[in-house]
């Protein structure tokens, strides 16, 4: 076991580097060399992925690492955004002579400040009581954002201009692509800092108090202090994300601190996997893809996000990273090849089932929202009548039939899996 550890961490290192290279190269993959322009859609989606990565990672400092179920994480993201807009305005007036690259740091400090105040209240409690307090804080802040016009700008929000003419690197930050690379830079810095935090005494004691807060007390630590510090620091990073949001969009409304964004943070961290450090990054990328990509194609994209979330909670509570990690002993035992055929057997009915589900959702959606918008459902160039029984019947058949078939294959897959695990068992205990 100790022999394979360095190999594993080397692979992990390469995955990190590959992800970074992909993040840097991606805008150029979609670069239009005829017009000499970047794809605005791709750059803005990638920028969103960067901010959401920071948000999800900072949320996981609470949920995954400290076992704290917070419902107000967007508060600190949002306050970072609002503060940055005001800082930008100050800078535009010439009264804040700082380069733009450092503004996310100010945003982080704003997030930290607010997280210290709210964290002091919320971290008095843990578990359900903690979640309740954070729910209250989130609602309080949403209301405040609509009440205090001077700072939050009411429903219209506040706006400013990021071209303050001050830069460390000599950029003007007029073009979205320049802002994107600023986001990449801050995302890397924040992710590394949060990774570092997991390997410090505080980070470790946060894990410890997640597993067993009473034991922590009898080791000299005040679990409340551990919760408080972890909460404050996670607010700092969320604030950085919000700062980048403000720089990107140059406008911040109460959406940036309202409950749906807090729920998104939870969704991203959970779907990606809370027990691995990289899980929330994966979740942020995936959910952003769904949000920007699928939302263009379908009115009902939220249904798909919801279905994905529910199936993850039921079938893969450790998220995508948890699914990957479950394969670890099999890959190390060199038996992964034996899973390929069973996987293919599950995949086919799985696809049929999912297509059936999508068919029903889309038919329903075109029947209601689509009709109101005057749209018609067109598949492979043929117009499909959403009032006729045939499309409904075939979609329903795919869902039910595919589901039953999938269930059968899934059971035989489980048998293969358990057989492999049993084979590997004695080997592992010897090592």
Partner 1 sequence: MTDTALSLCNVSKAFGQMQIIRGVNLDIKKGERHAIIGPNGAGKTTLFNLISGRFRLSSGEILLNGARVDHLPPHRINRMGLSRSFQITSIFHRLSVFENLRCALLWSMGYRYSFWTPLWRQRELNARTDLMLEQLNLASRRDTLAGLLSYADQRALEIGMTIAGGASVILLDEPTAGMSNTETDNAVELIRRVSKGKTLVMVEHDMKVVFDLADVITVLVYGQVIASGPPQAVRANPAVQEAYLGALAA
Q: Which residues bind partner 1 (CB under 8 A)?
A: 1-2, 5, 196-197, 199-205, 207-208, 210-212, 214-223, 225-226, 229, 233, 275
What is the enclosing helix (H) or strand (E) of 237? Answer: helix 223-249
Closest contact distance (angstroms) between CB of 196 and partner 1 is 7
| Residue 45 or 57 with smaller CB distance to partner 1 | 57
| Residue 23 or 206 with smaller CB distance to partner 1 | 206
CB pairs under 8 A, 24+ apart, for 343-346?
Answer: 343/413, 345/409, 345/412, 345/413, 346/406, 346/409, 346/410, 346/413
3-state secondary structure of 333: coil
Q: Nearest Cα to 24, choosing from 196, 183, 162, 189?
A: 183
Closest contact distance (angstroms) between CB of 296 and partner 1 is 40
What's the helix, strand, coil split of the chain in %, to 5?
75, 5, 20
Closest contact distance (angstroms) between CB of 3 and partner 1 is 12
Chain centre distance of CA 133: 23
Query: Could you tell me which residues are beta bridge partners of residue 384?
Result: 377
| 37 DSSP 8-state letter | B
Q: Are 332 and 417 in contact (CB under 8 A)?
A: no
| Residue 5 or 34 with smaller CB distance to partner 1 | 5
Closest contact distance (angstroms) between CB of 322 and partner 1 is 12
- Cβ neighbours of residue 150 under 8 Å, at least 6 residues apart? none
What is the token pair recorded at 298? 């379908």
The rounded distance, in Å, linking the Cα atoms of 233 and 231 is: 6
| Residue 195 or 354 with smaller CB distance to partner 1 | 195
Closest contact distance (angstroms) between CB of 328 and partner 1 is 13
Cα angle: 386, vertex 392, 395; to 5 degrees: 125
| Residue 93 or 214 with smaller CB distance to partner 1 | 214
Query: Could you tell me which residues are beta bridge partners of residue 212?
Result: none
| Residue 224 or 338 with smaller CB distance to partner 1 | 224
| Residue 223 or 391 with smaller CB distance to partner 1 | 223
Closest contact distance (angstroms) between CB of 123 and partner 1 is 13
The rounded distance, in Å, linking the Cα atoms of 404 and 398 is: 10
Q: Give the chain's end-to-end CA distance (angstroms, integer).
A: 6
Look-up of token digits 């830069």: 167
Closest contact distance (angstroms) between CB of 218 and partner 1 is 5
Closest contact distance (angstroms) between CB of 318 and partner 1 is 11
| Residue 216 or 261 with smaller CB distance to partner 1 | 216
| Residue 293 or 317 with smaller CB distance to partner 1 | 317
Closest contact distance (angstroms) between CB of 139 and partner 1 is 30
The rounded distance, in Å, linking the Cα atoms of 233 and 61 is: 9
* Ordered alpha helix ranges (H), 148-175: 149-152
Q: Are 242 and 77 in contact (CB under 8 A)?
A: yes
């Amino acid at each position: 076991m100790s022999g394979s550890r360095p190999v594993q961490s080397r692979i992990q290192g390469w995955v990190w580097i590959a992800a970074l290279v992909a993040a840097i190269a991606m805008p150029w993959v979609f670069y239009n060399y005829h017009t000499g322009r970047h794809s605005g859609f791709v750059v803005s989606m990638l920028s969103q992925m960067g901010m959401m990565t920071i948000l999800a990672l900072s949320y996981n400092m609470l949920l995954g690492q400290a076992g704290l179920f917070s419902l107000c994480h967007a508060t600190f993201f949002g306050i970072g955004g609002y503060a940055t807009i005001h800082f930008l305005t100050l800078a535009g007036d010439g009264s804040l002579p700082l380069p733009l690259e450092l503004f996310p740091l100010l945003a982080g400090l704003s997030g930290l400040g607010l997280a210290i105040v709210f964290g002091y209240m919320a971290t008095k409690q843990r578990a359900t009581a903690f979640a309740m307090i954070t729910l209250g804080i989130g609602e309080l802040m949403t209301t405040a954002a609509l009440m205090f016009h001077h700072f939050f700008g009411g429903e219209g929000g506040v706006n400013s201009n990021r071209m303050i003419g001050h830069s460390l690197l000599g950029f003007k930050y007029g073009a979205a692509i320049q802002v994107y690379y600023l986001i990449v830079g801050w995302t890397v810095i924040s992710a590394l800092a949060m990774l570092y935090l997991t390997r410090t005494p505080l980070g470790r004691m946060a894990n410890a108090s997640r597993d067993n807060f009473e034991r922590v007390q009898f080791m000299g630590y005040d679990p409340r202090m551990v919760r408080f510090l972890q909460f404050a620091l996670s607010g700092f990073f969320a604030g950085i994300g919000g700062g980048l949001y403000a720089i990107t969009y140059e406008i911040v409304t109460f959406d940036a601190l309202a409950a749906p964004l807090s729920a998104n943070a939870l969704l991203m961290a959970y779907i990606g996997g809370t027990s691995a450090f990289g899980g929330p990054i994966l979740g942020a990328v995936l959910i952003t893809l769904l949000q920007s990509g699928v939302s263009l194609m379908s009115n009902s994209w939220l249904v798909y996000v919801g279905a994905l979330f529910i199936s993850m909670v039921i079938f893969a509570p450790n998220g995508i990273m948890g699914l990957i990690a479950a394969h670890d002993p099999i890959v190390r035992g060199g038996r992964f090849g034996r899973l390929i055929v069973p996987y293919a057997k599950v995949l086919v009915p799985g696809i049929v089932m999912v297509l059936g589900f999508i068919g029903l959702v889309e038919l329903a959606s075109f029947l209601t929202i689509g009709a109101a918008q005057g749209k018609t459902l067109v598949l492979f160039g043929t117009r499909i009548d959403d009032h006729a029984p045939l499309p409904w019947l075939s979609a329903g058949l795919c869902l039910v039939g595919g589901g039953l078939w999938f269930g059968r294959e899934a059971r035989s897959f489980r048998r293969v899996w358990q057989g492999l695990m049993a084979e590997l068992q004695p080997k592992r205990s010897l090592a």
